[in-house]
Amino acid sequence: MRDQDPSAAASPDLARMRVDYGDPLSAPAVEPDLDETWVAGGWEPLLRNWIEQATMLGVAEPNAMVLATVSLAGPVPRPVARTVLCKGLSPEGVTFYTNYDSAKGGQLAADPYAAATFVWPALARQVHVRGVTERVPAEVTAAYWQARPRESRLGAWASAQSKPVASRAELDRTLAETTARFADVDDIPVPPFWGGYLLRPDEVEFWQGRRGRLHNRIVVRIDGEHTRVERLQP
Ligand SMILES: Cc1cc2nc3c(=O)[nH]c(=O)nc-3n(C[C@H](O)[C@H](O)[C@H](O)COP(=O)(O)O)c2cc1C
């Protein structure tokens, strides 16, 4: 198979790949001198602003974040990470939607702590959001569900996310059955196994790349009503 051609190992030359962050030519709209004052109004306005800037600069899926959970299934806890889309942002936290019976759903039921990382390499920026998750109220899920196209709703019903499936054909068959099942239903309801999680941060770190690898790292630590801002070494 093409992907298994051993000659492909030499290219690309990963060790030589290098970007000098903070280069005004690569991201002219981005101000690299992140400091403590940027989070004076809290972490949420700055995260919102960075997502907006990534959007304006044409970054694909600027609300994508890598969500890490903890699996307690084996003899020792192990991290598990995958990408999800941030579909809500407020001073309370970040919200994403998924299948509650998926692998991540099972992991969050056993250990609600999670970490989400946004990364926008074109802006030399990264944000980590860490804390405890909780399911959002059913009305919040219902409001978001209204915005989902019919095809996405059918997909949510048809997929037992994270479970094995014998073939693509079987998946297509399940989708065809689901489509037939809801053929006469205008407003396809929210599946009982599907909904949102709110990740309430106790820590949010903003990272802005600078030349020479002396990057800016500003972390907001949240403990109830108290917040503390610290700069971390790169
Ligand atoms: C850009 C991107 C966005 C994604 N967004 C979501 C999402 O919002 N919700 C979701 O359940 N899965 C999303 N996925 C798929 C997940 O990465 C993952 O494959 C799926 O949720 C199953 O994860 P799990 O088996 O660890 O539970 C996305 C994948 C990519 C690449």
pLDDT-above-90 percentage for the chain: 86
Phi, psi for residue 46 in degrees, rounded to 5: -70, -40
CB hemisphere CA count around 42 (13 angstroms): 13
The predicted pLDDT at position 31 comes to 80
Q: Which two tokens stand for residue 148?
A: 């989902």
Best CA proximity match to 211, nearest among 15, 14, 50, 18 = 18
**Residue 10 banded pLDDT, cuts 50, 70, 90:** low
Phi, psi for residue 111 in degrees, rounded to 5: -150, 105
**Residue 28 banded pLDDT, cuts 50, 70, 90:** low
**DSSP 8-class letter at 7:** G
Hey, which of 70, 85, 117, 198 would you mutate to test ligand 1's pocket, going by the most ligand atoms within 8 Å of its Cβ?
Answer: 85
| d(C-alpha 90, C-alpha 87), whole Å | 10
- The mean predicted confidence, pLDDT, of the chain is 93
55: helix, strand or coil: helix
110-168 per-position pLDDT tens digit: 999 999 999 999 999 999 999 999 999 999 999 999 999 999 999 999 999 999 999 99
Residue 200 marked ligand-binding: no
36-59 per-position pLDDT tens digit: 999 999 999 999 999 999 999 999
Domain 32-231: what homologous superfamily?
Answer: Electron Transport, Fmn-binding Protein; Chain A (2.30.110.10)
Q: What distance in angstroms lies between residue 80's CA and the mean position of ligand 1's atoms?
A: 12
| d(C-alpha 147, C-alpha 141), whole Å | 10
Residue 18 has pLDDT above 90, yes or no: no
